[in-house]
Chain A
């Protein structure tokens, strides 16, 4: 039965408006990144008067974008690897064993996800200052320090999402592996991890995305040498002028890795993100 006209018209109008709203900043980002500076400094133009790819060359010189890119890559990459590997063990324990304190552990993990980052920022800052004073190890401003702070958000959701994925791997599979002579770790790495690979990849992409977009810790816990993209993009504004065309070009360049990864893996990501809420 075909839907009535009122439904089709409402759908067309609503989805068209929404698409416009969603894509407007994308259009501004792309078109402005191809404009010369005098165009983005004056009145906004829907259709650029002249196109140039110069901003894409200038972004690397105006600020050390390459260095920031590297810092973001190292910090987000390391935080992702640590949280996913550690979460694999923890999620396996929660998914396959019953033990005293299991509920306490899962509730703690779940509740730390709801705490605001600002809550951990001050104390971690103080801990780093203290460790620096006591041992001379400068965690504050270092990449290692930043990686540790990123675990405050990437570890809980990695554990939480992986529990969901591991629960969806049938228990018969690892029972069979144990009958075949696999130890618990053998069953984990030979059976469960391979079966949950799409889920693990999705969790990793999600962890990476979140770390790549993090602003709060990055703006306090970095210095000139360890600055990440989140803070580095602010470098295109000078006392007199903001190089908006370069800001837009740089925004596009730093978005490509995560948007590409997200869209490639959206099917798996969406399953993982929604599993907990819908069940």
Chain B
């Protein structure tokens, strides 16, 4: 059967020997050439539809339904409730809305401090490591460890360190330094906010460091040399050259850090479990709890939709603002 046909793998060499030989018989037609990009995209499109677009449409539909555990098996037949879920969610005098609002403010405050500290530490580390020195490569590798460790393994270790009776933190501040009268609780109560912040910064700053290192590489060395000739010291160079040059990188970095931190579920979930203390009740955990603990999917979906709208508005405003800022400085 196959003896008469030339071996497939030989085709290329044959053609190379005879440059004028006719191209492959199945020459792609016009239609095929136009549709080729779409054929290539097809698998991705189908999956995007399946995992993103359809779920989002369902999420929006469900937010207008009265979906409690009684209708879970047959949710598409759950009764419509109009805007009830939304009015319940934004009624800030009633328990549901009040809890959501307080969770929203907690998340904003947490995001502000976490992003700020990640940015500060990451930028400082990148600037200090811009010049080569002995041990720089090893330090760089060490600094990437928090980024590489699986969230649950790293955060569970922090949870152990913050245990009241057998943790490292209380051992140091209470037993060794004697700073407190009695060992404080770190995973419940108001201190939980600080705990969450420490862990989040530990996990998040290496990303800022990475991006900043890459940004610094793009600054031409000649500018520094010229500045040094003009008598500018290292600190002056950092203030006048390094920091202004990092502005475009900063804009992307801060947006990405904001989205990650604001949406973070893993860190609080591993630290505190299914219900976080009020001081550290981030919005993702709050929606999770409203949906899967009380099985009220309608309100949970309404909260998700509101969260999405908020993120879209903030991101849109931020992009508008920063691109305006950029074109203004360019002009």
Contacts and interface: CB of A to CB of B under 8 A. Distances in A.
Interface in A168-220: 180-181, 183-184, 209, 212-216, 219-220
- Of residues B58, B269, B300, B315, which shows the largest number of chain A Cβ atoms within 10 Å of its Cβ? B58
A258 B150 contact: yes
Given A116-B265, A120-B51, A274 B211 contact: yes
Interface in B15-56: 15-16, 23-24, 28, 34, 36-38, 40-41, 43-45, 47-48, 50-52, 54-56
A40 to B, nearest CB: 6
Contacts of A24: 161, 168
Nearest to A150: B51
A248 B149 contact: no
Interface in A72-106: 82, 86-87, 89-90, 92-94, 97, 99, 102, 105
A29 interface: yes
Interface of A: 1, 3-4, 6-7, 10-11, 14-15, 18-19, 21-26, 28-29, 32, 40-44, 82, 86-87, 89-90, 92-94, 97, 99, 102, 105, 108-109, 112, 114-124, 126-127, 129-130, 133, 148-149, 151-152, 155, 159, 180-181, 183-184, 209, 212-216, 219-220, 229-230, 233, 244, 247-248, 251-252, 254-255, 258-259, 262-263, 266, 270, 273-278
Nearest to A97: B37
Contacts of A220: 292
A118 B288 contact: yes
Nearest to A188: B40
B124 interface: yes
B12 to A, nearest CB: 7
The 5 A-B residue pairs whose C-beta atoms are closest, nearest first, are A274-B214, A123-B55, A116-B263, A90-B44, A251-B153
B59 A216 contact: no
Given A86-B44, A215-B266, A114 B311 contact: yes
- Of residues A149, A266, A274, which shows the largest number of chain B Cβ atoms within 10 Å of its Cβ? A274
Contacts of B161: 24-25, 28
A171 B218 CA distance: 24
B188 interface: no
Given A92-B40, A118-B265, A184-B36, A152 B175 contact: no
B297 interface: yes
B40 A90 contact: yes
B166 interface: yes
Interface stretch (B69-77, B83-91, B96-104): B69-77
B241 interface: no
A3 B157 CA distance: 39
Contacts of A114: 259, 263, 311, 315
Contact of A277 (B24, B52, B253): B253
